[in-house]
Structure 1
Amino acid sequence: MFLLSACEPKPASQAPGGAAPATAEAPAPALAGPSLAGAGTTVDLAAMRGKLVLVDFWASWCEPCRREMPELEALYKRHQASGLELIGVSMDEARGDAEAFLRDVPVSFPMIFDEGQALAKSWSPPKMPTLYVVDQDGKVAKVIAGEVKFAELEAEVTQRLGGG
């Protein structure tokens, strides 16, 4: 038996129109979509400009994603009042799979269901999970492909929020 340290996503084609994938120091691609919370709400990265935003691409079938979700929730709760936002992006093929996952592993931060993989195509996460740190100016400051080292992420978030 073996365990994967990161889950490989299903291949996504190049970003629409030949746009570059989300990379460090580049402006973050657009990110908006229907909330998994329902009620016709939309989650939009552009509305969070001026805040530090973590964008987490995940899938219900990804075991590292399952392990990280409670730690992401705890990080979000610790720093939300200081200006941290977090957006989860489900890359599941079926919305019901993402909803079932979130019933088992509930979180308070907004989640988008990436129907048709349009966001994955424009952001091009290299593996599951992938976490993007988007700074207050809307630029991708860091890309973490694979499991997050939370002590390092905690230090980076604290520093970027002006606390260290």
Structure 2
Amino acid sequence: MRRILLTLLLAAVPVLAADLKPVDEATYTAKVVAPAKGKVLLVNFWATYCVPCRKEMPQLVALAARLKAQGFELATISADEPEQAKDAGAYLDKTKVPAPVYIRRAKDDDKFAAGLDPKWSGALPASFLYDKTGKKVRSFFGEVNLTELEAAIKKLL
């Protein structure tokens, strides 16, 4: 009986906002890309203040759920400021974005963006596609065309 009561009490506790792990230009590869080796990885940079980001996120989550069994993983990196981290986590929870979830804490945003792709200005949303070896094979700037994205992912699966 106590176990049932404890289970009910724990179920009533509000879920905390997603645990956003900090990532910067020095830790990006080790924290985000390397753990996904053996899978096709899409890294999506987004922010709560970015309307196109919030519009495409549920579509990316649905795509990730559909392709997960085939070896696809989605990682998201919020570009929100530290004071918006709670809001970013709450949005990820509401949208049911799976882990891993990160928050950008770059020492130099321009250097971080240029390190990912010299053509990337840092504008959001932006997504980067990695093959199973961890090699970046494609960059998507702005709202992504889901048909084009899915075709690019399926070529790598």
- Normalising by structure 2, we get a TM-score of 0.70
Select the residue among 83, 97, 106 that pairs with 1:117. Answer: 106
User: Please, which runs of 5 or more residues in structure 2 have no aligned partner?
Assistant: 1-24, 115-119
1:63 aligned to 2:62?
no
Q: Which residue of 2 aligns with 1:105?
A: 95
State the shift of 1:109 in Å.
3.7
Correspondences of 1:62-81 after superposition (within 5 Å): 62-81=50-69
Deviation at 1:97? 2.5
**Structure 1 moving runs of 4+ over 3 Å:** 118-121
The change in CA–CA distance for 1:65 and 1:154 in structure 2 (over 3 A counts) is: same
- Per the TM alignment, residue 119 of structure 1 is displaced from its structure 2 partner at its CA by 8.8
Normalising by structure 1, report the TM-score. Answer: 0.67
Superposed CA RMSD: 2.1
Q: Match of 1:52, as an amino acid? A: V
Count, aligned residues? 123
- Letter aligned with residue 84 of structure 1: F
Task: Report % sequence identity.
Answer: 37
Distance 2:77 2:61 in 1: 14
Residue deviations 1:107-134 (CA, integer Å, cap 9, x gap):
12421122x3259543445310000001
Normalized per residue, which structure has more helix?
2
Task: Name the counterpart of 1:155.
Answer: 151
Larger Rg computed on CA atoms: 2
Compared CA separation, residues 136 and 118, structure 1 to 2 (3 A): farther
Q: How does 1:116-155 map to 2 (within 5 A)?
A: 116-118=105-107, 121-124=111-114, 125-126=120-121, 127-155=123-151
